[in-house]
Structure 1
Amino acid sequence: MKKYILIVGLMFPFGISAQNIFGKVTNDKKEQLTGASVYWLGTTIGVTTGNEGEFEISSKDISNKKLIASYVGHSPDTMDITNQTFVEFRLKETKTLHEMIVQGQRDGVIISDTKSIKTEQITQTELGKSACCDLAGCFETQTTVQPQTTNVITNSKELRILGLSGVYNQVLIDGFPLIQGLSYTYGISSIPGTLVDNIYVSKGANSVLQGYESISGQINVETKEPDKTDRLLLNAYINNFLEKHFNVNYAFKEGKWSNLTAFHTVQPANKIDRDDDNFLDLPLLTRYMISNKWKYGNEKDWGWNSRINLRFFNEQRIGGQTFFNTESNKGSTGAYGQSVNINQPEIWTKTAYRINDKHNIVLFASAFHQQQNSYFGTVKYNAEQTNLYGNIQYELNYGKNELKTGISYRYLNLRENIVFTDTFLQRTYAGNYQRLENVPGLFAENTMRFFNNKLTWIAGVRGDYHNQFAFQVTPRTLLKYDIAPKTIVRANVGTGWRTVNLFSENIGLLVSSRDIIFAEPLKPERAVNFGINFTQKFETLDDNLSGYFSADYYRTDFQNQIFPDYDSDPTKAISTNFIGTSISNGFQAELFLRIYRRFEIKTGYNYLDVYRQTGSTLFLLPFNPRHKVLSTFSYRPEPGKYHVDMNLHWYGSQRLPNTQSNPSEFRRPDFSRPYATVNAQFTYTFSFLEIYAGCENVFDFRQLQPIISWQNPFSPYFDTSSVWGPTRGREIYLGIRFKFDRK
């Protein structure tokens, strides 16, 4: 029997002897299937069946004991392995694949054939191709999502989809809206990569179940399950700037209960200033996080099941001039600096009672409170936010269809205090700001299947009553049609709306010397999004070549948009309701190939046309490369002791804010120049540990001295908003992971 072994992280054996699982694979006529693939979920530890359909596979060092069997022309099947020593798979012949696993999931990407919207599931295998220290760094190999720096001094980031600001992309943590308001700016960086199990990425109008705010897309981060993850995980990371990351995960199971406790810390780098502009190239970051997740029962079993998660993190970021001292210079003009201190506790639960296979009742509830104390030069910014979210959902399976309906409630209380410690710049926006939101809502979503499951139609609508903006209706619909077993067309259309948290979501406004002008009261942002996707998958009979081609087009049309105007006056940022033409057109094409089970090649192209129209004049929105190319390459020889992963990002020119009315020494070009970055990582697996070493930005491309008026950061022309490329240069890192399987 031939074995295909890819060891992503073998666990320390603890002296346990190997256990083998025996079995057979047949079709629904009980005829043996010779050459069927049998492998463990999330690995390439697999075998092929013999002449009688028989197989034998080792379960040693397997933490997630889900065994998959697949055969050409048949639906794959997954089986949970507990204490069995013999299992039998009976695969059904089908014209429609219920779930396509790209490279048998062994490349780390799954594209579901059952979902009406194209959804990319990024697994731990894919995340292992880069350092993935935190959530913001987990998209190095993805075409759809673009991490974007929003403040170069504190290195805050957002996740963009379709060329639009990250505020239009709904980021969920285990299905909960925990990234919102104050948590938006630094929240995605507070989730360590070692806690992430899967990431689900979809573009355009999504389900109405999670709310009304998703406009450009949705990212749902699924953290590790206590009963399916490693018993113990230790991770240590250091880069050439001497920034250090340490992670510990510990899991145990007792009866129906299981628990995962995770600790994460980041310790600051050395002070680096390669530009000689007296500003740090990266902030001094200190973070502590602890998470405790409990799980009871199984969602598919009748009766009660529950997940409860508690998390707390404290974070401090210090950036600015190299000689800035937080004790003596904070808020003064002696040295320019920025300091951010965050404390955030949070809790969520998903508790359900499954009456039977047709009826289920689910409660979603979450809460978090963030306190933030910050200085941005002479701007003192203190803020507190309390968020509550509740959702009671009834689920009904009838025939081939599903109905989900329920009620929801959102509460937000955001209090911001802005003080100028020096008034030489004559800025006018100091004061106290408060936003209080109470939003009860109703929703219903029906999933219907027709023509022998070839056509799937999801129709959803929700109505929400906002205490300030009254009743809002959000309709969405999604269609999927299977032209052939591996050829799928999808289309979706829907509306979305959101209220604006101007300061917390646009932290760069507080950083620069610009005055912030509110030309009028800000109304909710509204948009209609529609898109179409085509996906073609393929594989040869010998599985030596497989992959997919995907192409899609999405258009977002805003009815009202809040985007600070940086162009009218370089010393001001003017906020108004823009009800004219504001459009985002996004086209993406992607080709993925897996060759001889060893090589993976992916090439993706993005075209973005994001603009506003005033009269007959089109204005491109800044910081969006119209053309972007991603190429990835992976080599993983059998038996998989090591793997090499590389990716190349090419960015076309981007329009920059207009600075032509500045004095000549403080002007910037209207457009950036194109550039490319190359990242590479080598990973080697021993029997109980994994060592990874890599380099980001191999050829050391940097945007030199990106800060305008860095010579005098207290001048009216000081501005950090013209950052369009990497500023820290080449980053070399080394990491080590120990994984111990549960007994």
Structure 2
Amino acid sequence: MKDVLRGCLLMLFINVLQGQELRVEVVDAQGALPYANVWLEELEKGAPTGNDGVAVLTGIPKGRLTLVVSFTGYTTYRKRVRIGEGQNVVQVMMQPMESLDEVVVSGTLRPVSRMETPVPVEVYQPTFFKKNPSANIFDALQMVNGVRPQVNCNVCNTGDIHINGLEGPYTLVLIDGMPLVGGLASVYGLSGIPNSLVDRIEIVKGPASSIYGSQAVGGLINVITKDAELVNTLSFDSFYSDWGEWNVDLGFKTGVGKVADVLTGVNYFNYDTPVDNNGDNFTDLTLQHRVSVFQKWNFKRASGKAFDLAGRFFYEDRWGGEMQWTPEFRGGTEVYGESIYTRRFEVMGNYELPFAEPVMLNFSYTDHDQNSVYGDTPYLATQRNGFSQLTWNRDLGMHGMLVGTALRYTYYNDDTPATANDAGDAPDEVFIPGIFVQDEMTLNKKMKWLVGARLDYDKRHGTIFTPRTAFKWSVTDNDILRFNAGTGFRVVNLFTEDHASLTGARDVVITEDLQPERSWNVNLNYLKKIYTSKGHFIGLDLSTWYTRFSNVILPDYDTEPDKILYSNLDGYGVSAGMSINADVMLRSGWKLTAGASVMDVHNVEDGERFRPVLTERFTGTWGLSYSVPFWDLDIDYTGNVYGPMRLPLLSDLDPRSPESPWYSLQNIQFTYKGFKGIELYAGVKNLLNWTPDQDVPFLIARANDPFDKNVTFDNAGNALPTPDNPYALTFDPSYVYASNQGIRTFFGLRYDLN
């Protein structure tokens, strides 16, 4: 009996010495995550997970300890856990770093973790857009909550990007931080960027003029290309749809000895099958033939300082119009067509100067040549943009200082009265110099405060001052609160192409000397991360904003139906709203990304409040993904929903609805990954077969008489009702808010060689 008692006491003593056991099960959305690092901070003790994603730590004392799990490419998991008697099990769901902890530059021009920056920046990786593959970034952005690619013409399908309900001119689009897209390039600049070369897309909602100057009034989109040193040797992605669309993205890396790494990308897109499902004798989708070649050099300097140089050439031939149109009808009055030839090249780069201090020179130049005809109206235009920026970036104790100077050059000339005077041709040529300063202060471990200001000079408008401030409070490791306030401005830059492509029929009239638009904005953002005891993850991103505009440059579609009249609003404009984005990852393999935005965009003039055309009050997006490891299969169900928008009518007799209906575009895709380096994917776009011609008598006004040969006008130029034209309409394709392209299947192949 004494021997038994001694044995029990000995076992109890050994158990006390050995302590308890901790079993940590680490997974991601694909399943078990092997070789993750598991660490107990207070004990400085850890172990890697095995092939089953499990790490077992023994000899752990009872009590509360800090568990840290890390893995390259994932956000570090940190949580206090309670160690009890016997075996303890903790389930950990790892969150890919791309969603929450990316290094971003768009908010402050300084590379900083997304979790640390005081300015809210949304980051989207190529894997996000692969859930619903598209031929260009313009179309891909429809997956982003609060961002809507707006189709502005039923015939030529050109468009722009809306952020939080604001029109395209309020959105600044950058490529590698350079303002290459704007004016003539509203849609063309975003087409033909090979998706295989995109590292990520950063989006800032709200004014950013204190850093980027004009046009960053409503927000900015920064398309960041990959570093040539870090990409795969070869990447290939191609898909084909049963509408006849064929898209090819090719990227490959080469080296020039010890001098540089070179990244080359080619995009080819072709759609040449006219379709007229709505029976109006006009193409439902513009035909396009596009080639884009991109090359980026990352030079290897002995000093280790940065030197990157990139260039892109873009050519596109697009046309839409009557089904019987062929190139010999171009510019004539027999068959209506809108034909656009575009040639464009871009050069951009950055060079870190050989100083002890960190001084960076960024530069870009674009040359855009446009040869268009709208029916029998030619439109020939040239635009050249130059941009240079010199910045000094230094951490000084608690201060992160950024000081810079910038120079923007714009040249524009076309064959319209917009660039002519009594003496003849008068191209629009403007230099805008600017200086800016920013201080990002670390007040303590939990709080950061940013203050900044910019001063620009435009000879037409004088000095323009734009300050801003931002504050970040890390309430806990999983709760972050941000407050931003600032100003924005937009210098008048009404390139006629934007509005000629908007309608193909109306004349643009500027009724006064337009003054720069100004805006004041406040934005409150809350970011929440939730790790459940079952190993699930939930991320919430909530924002609310209020922006007030003065000198609003307002397009008037209503006063004269054959014209668009532009003037500064004698009043003010408002954009206000709330948005929420959610990321949910379950241990079972399900992943959900969803977002919704509710907004109120309106103008006030002479005490009357009215809503601009093509501004929605609600948008929602979602993406539901599930992986089946046993079959090497990924399933993605994506979609969006849009609320009603006010649409431009031509007269009081116009029988079309003054508002668009609620509508939703939904897609499904299946991706097979059973072959090394190869992905096969197929799916269906626009599952509901929704098109805007439903429940309206027609989309294009007077599609049967595109040259208005049978329209009767009064002495003031207004259309009169006749038996042949009972609604007193003229030809006009501006009643548009979404693509006419219906349901379609697609299949494709991706290949990556590391």
The TM-score range, normalised by the shorter chain, is 0.7 to 0.9
Find the structure with the greater CA-based Rg.
2
Give the TM-score of the pair, scaled to structure 1.
0.84
The yes-or-no answer on 1:532 pairing with 2:524 is yes
Contact in 2 for aligned 1:461/1:475 (Cα 8 Å): yes
Q: How does 1:49-128 map to 2 (within 5 A)?
A: 49=55, 51=57, 74=68, 104-105=95-96, 112-128=114-130
- One-letter identity of the residue aligned with 1:348: M
Residues 91 and 151 (structure 1 numbering): CA distance in 2 closer, same or farther, change over 3 Å? closer
Q: How does 1:123-522 map to 2 (within 5 A)?
A: 123-206=125-208, 208-253=210-255, 254-255=257-258, 257-297=260-300, 303-326=304-327, 328-353=328-353, 359-418=357-416, 434-452=427-445, 454-504=446-496, 506-508=498-500, 511-522=503-514
Separation of aligned partners in 2, 1:535 and 1:480: 11
Separation of aligned partners in 1, 2:342 and 2:43: 61
Contact in 2 for aligned 1:207/1:460 (Cα 8 Å): no
Match of 1:636, SS state, is strand
Contact in 2 for aligned 1:411/1:439 (Cα 8 Å): yes
- Sequence identity percentage: 26
Shift in Å at residue 27 of structure 1?
Answer: 6.0
- One-letter identity of the residue aligned with 2:129: L
- One-letter identity of the residue aligned with 1:312: F
Map of 1:14 onto structure 2? none
Map of 1:66 onto structure 2? none
Match of 1:194, SS state, is helix
Contact in 2 for aligned 1:133/1:194 (Cα 8 Å): no
Separation of aligned partners in 1, 2:492 and 2:70: 45
Contact in 2 for aligned 1:512/1:718 (Cα 8 Å): no
Residues 740 and 366 (structure 1 numbering): CA distance in 2 closer, same or farther, change over 3 Å? same
Shift in Å at residue 412 of structure 1?
Answer: 0.7
- One-letter identity of the residue aligned with 1:707: I
Map of 1:562 onto structure 2? 553
Residues 317 and 206 (structure 1 numbering): CA distance in 2 closer, same or farther, change over 3 Å? same
Give the TM-score of the pair, scaled to structure 2.
0.83
- One-letter identity of the residue aligned with 1:439: I
Pick from 735, 744, 754 the counterpart of residue 722 of structure 1. 735
Separation of aligned partners in 2, 1:352 and 1:27: 42
Shift in Å at residue 464 of structure 1?
Answer: 1.2
Cα deviation, 1:372-391, whole Å, max 9, x if unaligned, reads 11011122111111111111
- One-letter identity of the residue aligned with 2:351: T
Contact in 2 for aligned 1:212/1:474 (Cα 8 Å): no
The yes-or-no answer on 1:573 pairing with 2:564 is yes
Map of 2:746 onto structure 1? 733
Flag structure 2 segments of 5+ consecutive residues without an equivalent.
1-23, 60-64, 81-91, 103-113, 709-718, 720-729
Shift in Å at residue 284 of structure 1?
Answer: 1.3
Q: Which stretch shifts more, 501-510 or 374-383?
A: 501-510
Match of 2:514, SS state, is coil
Map of 1:12 onto structure 2? none
Match of 1:405, SS state, is strand
Cα deviation, 1:153-186, whole Å, max 9, x if unaligned, reads 2222322111001221111101110012222232
Separation of aligned partners in 1, 2:55 and 2:369: 58
Shift in Å at residue 308 of structure 1?
Answer: 0.7
Map of 2:723 onto structure 1? none
Map of 1:642 onto structure 2? 633
Residues 304 and 602 (structure 1 numbering): CA distance in 2 closer, same or farther, change over 3 Å? closer
The yes-or-no answer on 1:590 pairing with 2:578 is no
- One-letter identity of the residue aligned with 1:329: F
Cα deviation, 1:378-430, whole Å, max 9, x if unaligned, reads 2211111111111111111122431010211111111111399xxxxxxx99x
Contact in 2 for aligned 1:234/1:738 (Cα 8 Å): yes
Shift in Å at residue 102 of structure 1?
Answer: 10
The yes-or-no answer on 1:551 pairing with 2:554 is no
Separation of aligned partners in 1, 2:130 and 2:76: 33
Residues 538 and 504 (structure 1 numbering): CA distance in 2 closer, same or farther, change over 3 Å? farther
CA RMSD of aligned residues (A): 3.3
Map of 1:700 onto structure 2? 689
Match of 2:691, SS state, is coil
- One-letter identity of the residue aligned with 2:668: A
Separation of aligned partners in 2, 1:259 and 1:192: 15
Residues 267 and 90 (structure 1 numbering): CA distance in 2 closer, same or farther, change over 3 Å? closer
Shift in Å at residue 119 of structure 1?
Answer: 1.3
Residues 109 and 263 (structure 1 numbering): CA distance in 2 closer, same or farther, change over 3 Å? farther
- One-letter identity of the residue aligned with 1:363: L
Shift in Å at residue 188 of structure 1?
Answer: 1.3
Residues 35 and 332 (structure 1 numbering): CA distance in 2 closer, same or farther, change over 3 Å? same
- One-letter identity of the residue aligned with 1:393: T
Shift in Å at residue 708 of structure 1?
Answer: 1.5
Cα deviation, 1:564-588, whole Å, max 9, x if unaligned, reads 1001222221111114121111211
Match of 1:563, SS state, is strand
Residues 589 and 711 (structure 1 numbering): CA distance in 2 closer, same or farther, change over 3 Å? same
- One-letter identity of the residue aligned with 1:594: M
Contact in 2 for aligned 1:388/1:410 (Cα 8 Å): yes
Flag structure 1 segments of 5+ consecutive residues without an equivalent.
9-20, 39-44, 54-70, 81-88, 95-100, 421-427
Separation of aligned partners in 2, 1:72 and 1:714: 75
Contact in 2 for aligned 1:26/1:91 (Cα 8 Å): no
Match of 1:125, SS state, is helix
Q: How does 1:676-691 map to 2 (within 5 A)?
A: 676-685=664-673, 686-691=675-680
Separation of aligned partners in 2, 1:255 and 1:22: 34
Cα deviation, 1:305-357, whole Å, max 9, x if unaligned, reads 2111011111111111111122x21111101101111111111111114766x
Cα deviation, 1:674-724, whole Å, max 9, x if unaligned, reads 122211111111213111112221110111242111111122611122113
Separation of aligned partners in 1, 2:602 and 2:179: 29
What is the total number of aligned residue pairs between the two structures?
A: 675
Match of 1:507, SS state, is helix
Cα deviation, 1:587-621, whole Å, max 9, x if unaligned, reads 11233211115111233221121111122321111
Match of 1:720, SS state, is coil
Map of 2:656 onto structure 1? 668
- One-letter identity of the residue aligned with 2:682: A
Contact in 2 for aligned 1:232/1:739 (Cα 8 Å): yes
Map of 1:61 onto structure 2? none
Match of 2:156, SS state, is coil
Separation of aligned partners in 1, 2:587 and 2:390: 48
Residues 731 and 402 (structure 1 numbering): CA distance in 2 closer, same or farther, change over 3 Å? same
Residues 307 and 27 (structure 1 numbering): CA distance in 2 closer, same or farther, change over 3 Å? farther
Map of 1:86 onto structure 2? none
Contact in 2 for aligned 1:360/1:396 (Cα 8 Å): yes
Shift in Å at residue 104 of structure 1?
Answer: 2.0
Match of 2:128, SS state, is helix
Contact in 2 for aligned 1:146/1:159 (Cα 8 Å): yes
Match of 2:745, SS state, is strand
Residues 631 and 6 (structure 1 numbering): CA distance in 2 closer, same or farther, change over 3 Å? closer
Map of 1:57 onto structure 2? none
Match of 2:553, SS state, is coil
